[in-house]
Amino acid sequence: MKAIRMEYVKRGALSLLLAMFIVVAVTGSSIGQSLEGPVNSMIDTDQKTITVTEDIRYKEGDSEAWKLDLAMPANFGSELRPALVIVHGGGWKGGSKSVDVYQKMMVDYAQQGYVTININYRLLDEAEFPACIEDVKTAVRWLRAHADQYQIDPGRIGAYGHSAGAHLALMLAMAPESAGLEGEGWNEYSSMVNVAAAGSPPTELGRDTPMAKEEWWPIGYISGDHPPLFLIQGTEDPVVRPELTNDFVEKMKDVGADIKYMELEGAHGVAYNEQLDVTEPALEEFFAKHLNPGEQ
């Protein structure tokens, strides 16, 4: 597990700064290891500093997928912080937490005062559905189990994902323990997040396959009792059918759910790499409203 201490002058300079790690410290890998470890030097400036730790194992076992990266404020004070869980996309059969888009988001939100985790989960070539759902739920429970260590308020945890990751982020907010999708590890803690946002979200599979079980999809949990949700959809998305997302949103509104919906002209990447000038500030505003990173 690598602990990396980085100084950021501007959030927009991420691509350069990720290639310019200021200090790298190599420590042993173990579940819940503190970010405090041997470092070569400390950078003392007026700028905010975050600490990034790679490949923390959130579940013991044979799978190399049970790892996450964690970014957290290093000099923002001693108050409890909200946390954000980032879930990568890739059709449940590809993708990784190491993709630049998710790494950038992890760093951006950490600089705003969130503790952010960017997680991997078992893909379909390793484990069939619903293993991916079980894994992301286990990662959230790991986060709550280590809330004291990382100065996290366990009542202020959000999730974001794109595409397949959007499906998983919504399941973190909508699928209760009674759904039987919890998996194993840290089971004395809740896997439910307090707010979730989803870009290009598969709310149902929409065809007759073994993966189309209603209990594995947000459409199976229509209710007004869920945490606040924010969905972003492209009107010309060839992967996630806009009419399915629209139908899901209308069903949720009909039962009084707290759901925000942004439909933009564009394809599958409107909240990934196509219209970030619109979606990034909208997501930041949504999470700030519900998770309040400035709260003491």
Q: What is the pLDDT of residues 166-187, one digit of tens each?
A: 999 999 999 999 999 999 999 9
pLDDT at 3 over 70: no
Could you give the CA distance from residue 8 to residue 70 in angstroms, rounded to a whole number? 16
Model pLDDT for residues 37-89, shown as the tens digit of each residue? 322 122 233 467 899 999 999 999 999 999 999 999 987 788 999 999 999 99
At residue 24, does pLDDT exceed 50?
no
- Burial label for 267, CB within 10 Å (0-12, 13-18, 19+), is middle
pLDDT of residue 28: 31
pLDDT digits (tens, 9 = 90+) for 136-155: 999 999 999 999 999 999 99
User: Kind and range of the H or E element at 116?
Assistant: strand 115-119
What pLDDT is stored for residue 234 in this prediction?
97
Burial category of 202 from C-beta neighbours within 10 Å (exposed 0-12, middle 13-18, buried 19 and up): buried
Q: Is 231 helix (H, G, I), strand (E, B) or coil?
A: strand
pLDDT of residue 91: 96
pLDDT in tens, 268-281: 999 999 999 999 99
> What pLDDT sits at residue 208?
77
Mean model confidence pLDDT for the chain? 86
**98-127 b/e with 16+ CB inside 10 Å = b?**
ebebbbbbbbbbbbbbbbbbbbbbbbbeee
Is the per-residue pLDDT at 29 higher than 90?
no
The domains found in the chain, sorted by start residue, are 50-291 (3.40.50.1820)
Helix then strand then coil, in percent of the chain rounded to 5, is 30, 20, 50
Among residues 158, 152, 34, the alpha carbon closest in space to that of 87 is found at: 158
pLDDT of the residue at 266:
95
Rounded to two decimals, the pTM is 0.86
Amino acid 295: pLDDT: 62
Write down the pLDDT at residue 49: 87
75 vs 230, higher pLDDT: 230
Helices (H) and strands (E) in the chain, counts: 6, 10
